[in-house]
Structure 1
Amino acid sequence: MKMVLTQGASVLAVSLLALAGGQSAAASQDEHEHSHDHNHDHDEDIYAGYFEDSQVEDRSLSDWEGDWQSVYPYLENGTLDEVFAHKAKHEGDKTADEYKAYYETGYQTDMDRIVIDGQTVTFHPDGDEERSGEYTYDGYEILTYEAGNRGVRYIFELAEDADGLPQYIQFSDHAIFPTDADHFHLYWGDDRDALLEEVTNWPTYYPSDLDGQEIVHEMRAH
């Protein structure tokens, strides 16, 4: 799926380092509150990628604060087969096996767990030691996809040089204004612009305290 960049946002730039090997593909506060006065009558349209540029707002890293697990292992062990069967029955443009192949490419990652605490992001790669770094907000970008719908990438940049960490991380969770995420797709690597071109591999994370069946329930609810 092709996309084009249609708009940038405010940028806080800091120069930094990169994740060893990269990825082909993704404000600390004790009480997370949002004092914005929104009309959210069209949340379903927004989730589907239909919104006006004027509706998009900056977000802080606290929107994604928490302990998150990759859903890829649940695809590999067959737990998500129920989700793909449900999609095949109700969406109808692919078979269950075709959906599984599509999400196999989308979800694939060796980053099993990610913990976000304040401005600190800790990566837990499969079979390797964890690495932590502080990330600062670097604006958002609005992407227009070939199908006509759009998405927003919220971008954060590594604040200080740290070995083995990506220079940029980019969140996509279907929201376009401050709100607590219930899951997200994450892109990471050294090249900010190149990451914006990545639309086939989108490692996806749900709260670590959910088991496989609870994730299935959440996915089917969308």
Structure 2
Amino acid sequence: MNKLKLMTLVGVMSAALLLNGCGAQKDAPKENTKQTEQKQEDKKEDSKATEKTEDKKEEVSLSDWAGEWNNMGSYLDKPEVQGAFKTLAKKENVDEKKAKADYLEKRKCEFNGLKIEGNKIIFTSKIPSENGEKIAETEYKFVEKKAVKHGSHMLEWDVFEAVDSNAKYKVLLMMPIHGEEELTHFHMRYGNDKEELFAKEGWFPTFVKPNTTDKQIIGEIEE
């Protein structure tokens, strides 16, 4: 009889342990589900943070071009650089006169100086060091980046629009500063209609640092 009671007691305890185990197994998925949902939520937040970071990287400001800049065209009639057009003519298999005329047309610009501070540009008739007449003073806002096909490759422009709708130059296309190893410069286009500016494939007004040398200009022409 005692043995029977003992066996019954052992059976009851075993059943209880088994039931508890099943209950734990049922509870575990709930806990795992909560952890999975939390991880997914964390991933969403990480993704949002990444998107915000990428958006900041895409933001462009005129302050990226801050400082004073000389129109490259203001150097092109200097006696010291004329030999470069002879080299260019041979390279393009045209006469020297045409080589120079085509190059001047490509760099043509109606202002010779830029003073860029913050989101504002002052356009001047002469290079800044010569204190030329102020042609315009305008505040701009960044609008978009635009990749445009040019020959076999793509050119990326940063597009700016004037805050004042009556500005002389309502739209600017700006390329990032480059060429630091030889000639620090950037290309730009100006006007009132961005689509028209994108379409002017052979027009690249170019601005260089005030300390640019004739030798650097020669190298750029002959390139």
* TM interval, short-chain normalised: 0.5 to 0.7
> Which residue, out of 186, 190, 193, partners 2:192?
190
Change in CA separation of 1:204 and 1:79 when aligned onto 2, cut-off 3 Å: farther
| One-letter code aligned to 1:113 | G
Residue in structure 1 matched with residue 101 of structure 2 by the alignment:
101
Q: Distance in 2 between matches of 1:99 and 1:58?
A: 39
Whole-Å separation in 2 of the counterparts to 1:130 and 1:209: 23
- Following superposition of structure 1 onto structure 2, how do residues 65-76 of structure 1 map, counting pairs within 5 Å? 65-76=66-77
Residue of structure 2 equivalent to 1:167: 170
Does the 8 Å CA contact 2:119/2:140 hold for their aligned counterparts? Answer: yes
- How far apart in 1 are the matches of 2:195 and 2:155? 15
Contact 1:141 1:154 in 2 (8 A): yes
| Contact 2:122 2:134 (C-alpha < 8 Å) held by counterparts | no
**Partner in structure 2 of residue 135 of structure 1:** 140
CA shift, 1:115, in A, is 1.0
TM-score, scaled relative to structure 1 = 0.60
**C-alpha distance in structure 2 between counterparts of 1:79 and 1:111, whole Å:** 22
Instruction: Give the deviation of 1:58 after TM superposition.
Output: 5.0
**What are the superposed Cα offsets for residues 10-37 of structure 1, whole Å, 9 maximum, x if unpaired?**
xxxxxxxxxxxxxxxxxxxxxxxxxx9x
1:151 to 119, 144, 155: 155
Identity of aligned residues (%): 21
Question: Shift of residue 59 of structure 1?
Answer: 3.3
Select the structure of larger CA radius of gyration.
2
Cα distance 1:96–1:70, how it changes in 2: closer, same or farther (>3 A)? farther
Measured after TM superposition, the shift of residue 173 of structure 1 is 4.7
Gap change, CA 1:169 and 1:85, over 3 Å in 2:
same
Q: CA RMSD in A?
A: 3.0
Task: Evaluate the alpha carbon distance shift between residue 58 and residue 143 of structure 1 in structure 2; reply closer, same or farther with a 3 A threshold.
Answer: farther
Distance of 1:143 and 1:71 partners within structure 2: 23
Task: Quote the Cα distance in structure 1 between the aligned partners of 2:81 and 2:95.
Answer: 10
Normalised by the length of structure 2, the TM-score is: 0.59
Structure 1 runs not aligned, ≥5 long: 1-35, 37-55, 176-180
Matched residue type, 2:70:
Q
Query: In structure 1, what residue type is equivalent to 2:93?
Result: K
Give the Cα separation in 1 of the matches to 2:113 and 2:69. 6
Name which structure has the greater RCO, CA cutoff 8 Å, separation 6+.
1
Number of residue pairs the alignment of both structures matches: 158
How far is 1:155 from its partner? 0.8
* Residues 174 and 124 (structure 1), Cα distance of their counterparts in 2 relative to 1, 3 Å cut: closer
SS at 2:106's partner residue? helix
Identify if the C-alpha distance between structure 1 residues 174 and 130 changes in structure 2 by more than 3 Å, giving closer, same or farther.
closer
Cross-structure match for 1:124:
124
CA distance in 2, matches of 1:69, 1:63: 16
Do 1:58 and 1:140's aligned partners in 2 also have CA atoms closer than 8 Å? no
Among residues 210, 214, 217, which one is paired with 1:215 in the alignment? 217
Structure 2 CA distance, aligned partners of 1:220 and 1:202?
13
2:177 and 2:185 in contact (8 A); partners too? no
Give structure 2 stretches of 5+ with no counterpart.
1-52, 127-131
